[in-house]
Structure 1
Amino acid sequence: MAKLLLYLTLATSLIPLFSVAFSPENPTDRRVLVLVDDFAIKSSHSLYFGSLTSRGFQLEFKLADDPNIGLQRYGQYLYDALVLFCPSVERFGGSIDVASIVDFVDSGHDLIVAADSNASDLIREVATECGVDFDEDPAAMVIDHINYAVSNFDGDHTLIASDDFIKADVILGSKKIEAPVLFQGIGHSLNPANSLVLKVLSASSSAYSANPKSKLSNPPSLTGSAISLVSVVQARNNARILITGSLSMFSNRSGVQKAGSSIKHEKSGNEQFLTEISKWVFHERGHLKAVNVRHHKVGESDEPAIYRINDDLEYSVEIYEWSGTSWEPYVSDDVQVQFYMMSPYVLKTLSTDQKGHYSAEFKVPDVYGVFQFKVEYQRLGYTSLSLSKQIPVRPYRHNEYERFLPAAYPYYGSAFSMMAGFFIFTIVHLYSK
């Protein structure tokens, strides 16, 4: 009995530790499944994997055709993110297929897909589901005869030195990437019907997609800056996806010199670029949360169950951004609140105290019904915020109106003058001969 009490005491003492480790307050993905074609990639891409491990990620490597792999067990997902470094896989092992990967993302989890020149139809289908289309020619690669990287194998100019980055600090960080990024692989285009896909690294205007081992008989289907080298997707449920046509760009290759430039960089921009973009993909940056959503009458602190027309009210919310280790105040001047019924009756920009607290005061419109406080905040690179609170608005009660309205004085005067005239007319009529 004493031993049983001791075990119960130890188990109870460990509960807070587990609740901290798996706290939903930490949005960063920690359990990552990496599917590879060959375990040799662990050493050839060790710098990238080491960057993730140093930031606290738990990487689990498995062969893509392993018959025992699965993303969930007993209805619960085993991983927070999935990395597909298996461009040549024809069929996933275990219970993983394209539909399960799509469900994984639809459940709010993150995904990285890296292809190359021998990308299988399976990997292409996964990319298509995410809103990008790789070049249909299976032998095509991105070629650039102007912006290529100087190397010992310059013949086909498929090793590109690209520096056409998206201008968004929230995705790539505030520190400028000085060296070009080495890219060798296949290009892709964005599905024009999908507004959620963004080009993070684009090809130059002199690039095109074609088979480097054969002569061009027809104009290439993908040319210039329409070719995306690296793209990202932020789904409506805030799941994030990274898609690239080059697995080698994650490798430990270093040193780059762009053609026509005398500057030779001892280190390419790949490591910095991929580290910064992985912080975004895994929600270490650009992840927002809203707390303490409140509203009340001006001068009061309690939240009422109903408002009256023309009441003065105050709406407030606190917004924080995850920095990778803690929640920091989010500061912006473009957060707006709507007082909404079928359409916005009030649209007000929230003022901030630079500490994450946003508030605004306004008057309830002279219309009664069921309204909503709505905040729909969507900005490039940030998780979207969708807040709503429903509140009814009533008209004045019969005893809340002013007894005499100044605007009605002429009508009051006409009524009393008519009564006085009728009284005088009656007296004159009755007592006159």
Structure 2
Amino acid sequence: MANLPMFLTIISFLPFLCYSSPENPTDRRILVVLDDIGLKSSHSIFFKSLQTRGLELDFKLADDPKISLQRFGQYLYDGLILFSPTTERFGGSLDLGAILDFVDSGHDLIITTDVSASGLIRSIATECGVDFDEDPSAMVIDHTSYAVSDTEGDHTLIASDDFIQSDVILGSTTIEAPVLYKGIGHSLNSANSLVLKVLSASPSAYSADPNSKLSSPPLLTGLAISLVSVVQARNNARIMISGSLEMFSNRLFRSGAQKAGSSNRYEKSGNEQFVTELSKWIFHERGHLKAANVRHHKVGETDEPAMYRINDDLEYSVEIHEWSGKSWEPYVSNDVQIQFYMMSPYVLKTLSSDQKGKYFTSFKVPDIYGVFQFKVEYQRLGYTSLSLLKQVSF
């Protein structure tokens, strides 16, 4: 098992160069790396959905000798999509280290693969906190939750509807139809708390070579199998890992879907909705927070003082907004807390909200001298984290 990379453990956030404006956090320019130019046509619906939302895609073949993520020390792209499962070595300056540095600099990544996954693609996935089945011939098989199809006995085409329950990650509109999935499974690194399953296999699924009889129990089974996972690093970079490139294809987008044993037949699979909504989250069109107008002052005053005295009554406020994909909207929640901190919290309060994005509270300065910090550390599933620190003395 590889050690967790820097971008999954980094605590402080360094500024990074990128074409995205600070006022528009949505990824704008995306490098798409293909190992077959035919994927541009066979997966065109997915690419078109990105372009329709204003993302600029730059397609490159994986062996392009000029391929590069940066020039003169400045990143050329905001996000990277790897549709290159068979690639053993990229062209140009793109390699494992360059991709990890890209994410470590706050940029986003989509990794897709299939049963032909190369060692390079597996290594990238491992560095992101997941491990694909070590058997190079293994696929996810499910004799219970397979998709009804014209191919009798094909239980490698799975119909999965075990989605993560998160509106910010998958959108507020329920995905009714199951997702059709054909590919390989992976497990999550138990030492990495930042990786999440967003599409899981059923309890009856297992990972094995579909063309061979089982000689021993499979190592990867049931709910331990993740089909699609995501990571949000502590620097707020986002990663998606899928063991099925075909899940993104026009064919499965347009295909009808019916899970074995179910009478519900859907004219269209849930693939397009699932992939579209998930890609919105990956590229920061949803779930991206910003804080502004952090203020503190004595009760009855408006100016921030040079220092406070013990037992002063003070007020603290901050405005928090969420990016909707087009504009900043007020973020409304009831779990934003403030710490008045010196070595440990002397005051811990949940902030009140005006339901318009402003959070506020008041409290009395503790009867103790020292250097304190106003500290807001906000972390909520699916949202970018906020870390607000302001130091004051007594």
TM class by shorter-chain length?
A: over 0.9
Q: For residues 187-219 of structure 1, what are the alpha-carbon distances to aligned partners after superposition, in whole Å with 9 as ceiling and x for unaligned?
A: 000000000000000000000000000010111
Question: Separation in 1 of the partners of 2:136 and 2:21?
Answer: 45
SS in 2 for 1:308: coil
The one-letter code sitting in structure 2 at the alignment partner of 1:267 is K
Corresponding position of 2:55: 57
Counterpart Cα distance in 2 of 1:321 and 1:380: 14
- Residue deviations 1:370-394, cap 9 Å, x none? 000000000000000000000001x
Q: Which residue of 1 aligns with 2:207?
A: 209
**Are the aligned partners of 1:34 and 1:61 in contact in 2 as well (CA < 8 Å)?**
yes
Matches within 5 A, 1:32-431: 32-253=30-251, 254-393=255-394
TM-superposed CA distance for 1:368, in Å, is 0.6
- Output the TM-score relative to the length of structure 1: 0.85
Task: Tell me how many residue pairs correspond in the alignment.
Answer: 373
Output the CA distance in 1 between the equivalents of 2:152 and 2:215. Answer: 22
Q: Report the residue type matching 2:152 in the other structure.
A: D
CA RMSD of aligned residues (A): 0.8
- For the residue of structure 1 that corresponds to 2:373, the secondary structure is strand
Q: Secondary structure at the match of 2:250?
A: coil
- Larger CA deviation: 115-124 vs 262-271: 262-271
Counterpart Cα distance in 2 of 1:262 and 1:298: 64
Distance 1:84 1:277 in 2: 16
What code does the residue aligned with 1:160 have?
A: I
* Preserved contact between residue 156 and residue 212 of structure 1 (Cα < 8 Å): no
State whether residues 20 and 78 of structure 2, in contact with CA within 8 Å, keep that contact through their aligned partners in structure 1: no
SS of residue paired to 1:101: helix
CA distance in 2, matches of 1:348, 1:147: 47
State the one-letter code of the partner of 1:159: L
Show the counterpart of 2:6. Answer: none
Aligned to 1:423: none
Shift of 1:263: 2.2
Query: What amino acid does structure 2 have at the position aligned with 1:341?
Result: M
Higher RCO (CA < 8 A, seq sep 6+): 2
Q: Unpaired runs of 5+ in structure 1?
A: 1-20, 394-433
Q: Which amino acid in 1 is paired with 2:176?
A: E
Q: Give the counterpart letter for 1:272 in structure 2.
A: Q
Instruction: Report the Cα distance in structure 1 between the residues aligned to 2:329 and 2:352, rounded to whole angstroms.
Output: 18
What stretches of structure 2 of length at least 5 have no aligned partner?
A: 1-18
2:53 counterpart letter in structure 1: R
Letter in 2 for 1:294: R
What letter is aligned with 1:84?
Answer: L
Distance 1:200 1:124 in 2: 19
Alpha-carbon offset, residue 185 of structure 1: 0.2
CA deviation profile, 1:88-136 (whole Å, cap 9, x unmatched): 0010100011011000000000000001000000000000000000000
| 1:18-29 matched pairs, under 5 angstroms | 23-29=21-27
State the alpha-carbon separation in 1 of the partners of residues 295 and 345 from structure 2: 19
Deviations for 1:274-305, whole angstroms, at most 9, x for unmatched residues? 00000000000000000000100000000001
Alpha-carbon offset, residue 22 of structure 1: 5.2
Task: Please give the alpha-carbon distance, in whole angstroms, between the structure 2 residues aligned to 1:339 and 1:139.
Answer: 56
Q: Give the C-alpha shift of residue 255 in structure 1.
A: 1.1
Whether contact under 8 Å (1:83, 1:113) holds in the other structure is yes
1:273 Cα deviation (Å)?
Answer: 0.3
